[in-house]
Amino acid sequence: MIKFLFQSFFVRWMRKLQIRRSYVASLPADIITDIFVRLPIKSVLICRCVCKHWNTLISNPNFAKLLLTYTLPAVMIRRKHSRFFHLVEYDRIEWHERRNNTLFSGVFEVLKPNSSSIKLDPKFEIPLLGTKVYAVLVCNGLFYLSCSNNGDISLVCNPITGEFIRLPKHPPILKPCECEISRGFGFHPKTNQYKVMRILIFKHDHPMVVEMLRVGSTTWINIEVDYPKNLISISRFSVYLNGALHWLGKDVDGNVSIWAFNFDTERFQSFSIPSDQGPKVGIHEFSGFFCMTYYNEPITMWIMKRYGIEESWTPILVNSDRNINSSITMFHDYIAYHDRENKEYKIFRTDCSDNIQILCLVPTLIPLKDIIIGDNVEVHNIYSLNYPKLRFY
Amino acid sequence: MELLCIRQWISGLLPTWLSAWCIKPVGGALVRQEPEYILLALMGSPLKKIMLCSSEKEIFSVEEQVMVQHSVIINNMIEDGSYNHEESKIPLDCVDSKTLKKVIDYCTHHTHHHNDNQEDLEAWDAQFLNVDSNGLYDLLMAANYLEIRNLLDLIYGTIKNMIKGKKIDEIRRIFNIKDHGFTPEEEEQNRKEYPHFY
């Protein structure tokens, strides 16, 4: 009898000891994975370094795909020409319920010119030894960076994982006169390829030169396009949406229209703008729709409810509190969109000068080699290079 | 339209009528039941109870409605008829008594207080999860085994808050990870690449 009691106590005591010792080791993999997908990206990266077991789970390519389905869109902010990018994740902003929406004041601390306290983290540095990063375009969580004005150094990278691919040099610009350079970075869903474009518009009647590179290949291709001859300039950076790149184009009469390059047809198509409210305009993607903003007083935003159909331009009200679940408000120089129900937010700059650049992306951990199709694609990692100023905050 | 409703009403009441006549459908046949159950059937028995047996062989009696609403496993067991109300108990060998009691507590509270306002429910949940880490672990395994979705989400949220915003050393301490399993080279590499995570 006593022996029986002793045995049962002993067994229970041993079991308790076991649990205390191997709390985490005995959690099944699918439970741990379920927990990881609910964490913000920074915490996922931290958990990757906590222990080998967690590292294996997170480094699994299927995990990255699963995480992408849970990840909320985030915003990355950088100062002009800076190599430092700040990631602002939805979970890490403190959302207050006050009506005047000062919830963004924390976000914009870092954007004040002399702010010494960097309130946003994590911060990602792309270490390219002292060069400025001139152009950054984002598509599906990847960045295209152009690090010198003549396009010698450019790369496509995933800032979260640090992987990047160097792109081949641009072909030299042969025409003698001045030209404007516009860039685009987008994704072609049919062929699953990322494409970079460069458009040169020359003064004095030289034809436009359009070059395209499929990321993963080694040569830039010249594309012959039809375009109206009175198109004299287009915006410097494209907006990617629906398998096409969009630029704002201006003709000799000063009329503004939208030029879309479709990757399927490899042709330009133009849309007219919704209304004639002045020269200061911007285009961007908003909740899956193509959006145009007029930076007047007051600011007006129009979205193209059905893509490609000009009659479907619909104005959205800024500063309207009609919907309690989502709101668009003006705050200093920014327009902020917050959807409480779907946990989405977006920030747009209203000032056209690009002192601060705002990039909207969905952070992803998917390795580049699974995304970029090509022969002999060499993937490097900024965190494994021996740069002296290598930091990841 | 009315005919359809009447038919549904009749077919809904059929089992009660049959049981009132002491006839029970078993495996396609109709079998005469024991008389004791006539009374129960006539009463309508909304508070039908089921027996859950913990790993320590302790038996807990719980309203069927409560468990069926929350636990997918128990719901499936009862629906496919493998659970015999009169005789058997559901053996839950993976769950000990203390945890089972807590799980039953959670399900009962959420069924009965379903219409309370959100804040009260959240406050109760926070109080409910005020347990030590072993208790949390046991609850997590039980909720996973019984497939109780909302309890699982609640515990996930708690663990997520334990991880969010913490650095690596703190996380290792909280989850009692004594041996991280990296080789010394790997650990050093990580510390070099991500110094601010430690």
Q: What percent of chain B has pLDDT over 70?
A: 75
Report yes or no on A257 lying in a domain.
Answer: yes
Q: Which of A20, A39, A49 sits opposite B168 (nearest CB)?
A: A49
Helix-helix angle A52-59:A29-36, to 10 degrees? 70
Using CA atoms, how far residue A382 sits from A49, B187, B195, in Å, is 17, 18, 15
Report yes or no on A387 lying in a domain.
Answer: no
Pick the more confident residue, B178 or B46: B178
Give per-residue pLDDT as tens, B140-195: 999 999 999 989 999 999 999 888 888 899 988 888 888 888 999 989 888 877 77
Report yes or no on A391 lying in a domain.
Answer: no
Q: Which of A23, A383, A393 sits opposite B133 (nearest CB)?
A: A23
Cα separation, A214 vs A263, whole angstroms: 11
Q: Which B positions 123-142 lie with beta carbon below 8 A of chain A?
A: 133-134, 137-138, 140
- For residue A57, the domain's CATH number is 1.20.1280
Give yes or no: residues A153 and A79 share one domain. yes
> Token pair of A85, please?
């990018």
Report yes or no on A350 lying in a domain.
Answer: yes
Report yes or no on A392 lying in a domain.
Answer: no
**Taking a C-beta distance cutoff of 8 angstroms, is the pair A336, A349 a contact?**
no
**Taking a C-beta distance cutoff of 8 angstroms, is the pair A187, A243 a contact?**
yes
Of the candidates A205, A184, A204, A180, the one whose C-alpha atom is nearest the C-alpha of residue A194 is: A184
Strand partners, B90: B52
Report yes or no on A390 lying in a domain.
Answer: no
- Helix H, strand E, coil C: the string for A202-223 is ECCCCCCEEEEEEECECCCEEE
- For residue A113, the domain's CATH number is 2.120.10
**Taking a C-beta distance cutoff of 8 angstroms, is the pair A290, A248 a contact?**
no
Which of B163, B172, B179, B186 to mutate to test binding with chain A, by most A CBs within 10 Å of its CB? B163
Give yes or no: residues A194 and A300 share one domain. yes
Amino acid at site A388:
P
Give yes or no: residues A139 and A272 share one domain. yes
Q: Is the pLDDT of residue A120 over 60?
A: no
pLDDT number for residue A203: 78
Cα separation, A64 vs B162, whole angstroms: 22
Give yes or no: residues A79 and A65 share one domain. no
Domain boundary among A46, A69, A92: A69
Mean pLDDT of B39-47: 49
Task: Examine the predicted complex and report whether its ipTM is higher than 0.90.
Answer: no
Cα separation, B102 vs B127, whole angstroms: 12
**Taking a C-beta distance cutoff of 8 angstroms, is the pair A121, B194 a contact?**
no
Mean pLDDT of A358-369: 86
Report yes or no on A90 lying in a domain.
Answer: yes
Domain boundary among A17, A41, A69: A69
Spell out which residues of chain B touch residue A53, defining contact as CB-CB under 8 Å. Answer: 181
pLDDT number for residue A388: 39
DSSP string of A12-34, one letter each residue: HHHHHHHHHHTTTTTS-HHHHHH
Phi and psi torsions of A226, nearest 5°:
-90, 130
- Are B168 and A31 inside 8 Å of each other by CB? no
Asked whether the whole model's pTM tops 0.80, one would answer: no
Spell out which residues of chain B touch residue A21, defining contact as CB-CB under 8 Å. Answer: 176, 178
Using CA atoms, how far residue A145 sits from A74, A165, A179, A183, B24, in Å, is 19, 10, 20, 11, 74
**Taking a C-beta distance cutoff of 8 angstroms, is the pair A200, A151 a contact?**
no
Which of A9, A44, A47, A51 to mutate to test binding with chain B, by most B CBs within 10 Å of its CB? A51
Q: How crowded is residue A371: how many other Cβ atoms within 10 Å of its Cβ?
A: 22
Give yes or no: residues A51 and A84 share one domain. no
Phi and psi torsions of A344, nearest 5°:
-120, 150
- Are A23 and B197 inside 8 Å of each other by CB? no
- Residue that the structure tokens 């490899």 belong to: A266
Residue of A nearest to B55 (CA): A12
Give yes or no: residues A59 and A186 share one domain. no
B157 touches chain A (CB under 8 A): yes
List the domain range (segments joined by +) for residue A62: 2-69
pLDDT number for residue A63: 93
What is the number of domains present in chain A? 2
pLDDT interval class at A164 (50, 70, 90)? confident
Domain boundary among A21, A44, A69: A69
Strand partners, B22: none
Give yes or no: residues A191 and A172 share one domain. yes
Give per-residue pLDDT as tens, A55-102: 999 999 899 999 999 888 888 877 777 777 777 777 766 665 444 444
Report yes or no on A393 lying in a domain.
Answer: no
Maximum average pLDDT range among A221-235, B20-34, B37-51, B78-92 = A221-235
- Are A52 and B182 inside 8 Å of each other by CB? yes
B70 min Cα distance to partner chain A (Å): 19
pLDDT number for residue A67: 92
Spell out which residues of chain B touch residue A390, defining contact as CB-CB under 8 Å. Answer: 193
Give yes or no: residues A208 and A323 share one domain. yes
Give yes or no: residues A194 and A304 share one domain. yes
Instruction: Identify the H or E element spanning B76.
Output: helix B72-79
**Taking a C-beta distance cutoff of 8 angstroms, is the pair A127, A387 a contact?**
yes
Phi and psi torsions of A328, nearest 5°:
-120, 120
Cα separation, A89 vs A108, whole angstroms: 13
Give per-residue pLDDT as tens, B118-150: 888 889 998 998 888 788 888 999 999 999 998
B197 min Cα distance to partner chain A (Å): 6
Give per-residue pLDDT as tens, A313-344: 888 877 665 566 677 777 667 777 777 777 77
pLDDT number for residue B14: 59
Cα separation, A304 vs A288, whole angstroms: 10
B117-134: burial string, b at 16+ Cβ within 10 Å, e else? eeeeeeeebeebbeeebe
- Are B137 and A23 inside 8 Å of each other by CB? yes
- Residue that the structure tokens 């027996």 belong to: B51
B176 touches chain A (CB under 8 A): yes
Give yes or no: residues A98 and A125 share one domain. yes
Give per-residue pLDDT as tens, B18-37: 555 555 555 555 555 455 44
Average pLDDT of every residue of chain A: 77
Half-sphere exposure of A185 (CA within 13 A, CB side): 19
Spell out which residues of chain B touch residue A45, defining contact as CB-CB under 8 Å. Answer: 194, 197
Give yes or no: residues A104 and A228 share one domain. yes
Pick the more confident residue, B23 or A48: A48
Cis-peptide, bond into residue A172, ω within 30° of zero:
no
B185 touches chain A (CB under 8 A): no
pLDDT number for residue A242: 87
Give yes or no: residues A174 and A61 share one domain. no
Pick the more confident residue, B33 or B99: B99
DSSP string of A224-253, one letter each residue: -----TTEEEE-SB-EEETTEEEEEEEETT
Residue of A nearest to B188 (CA): A49
- Are B164 and A23 inside 8 Å of each other by CB? no
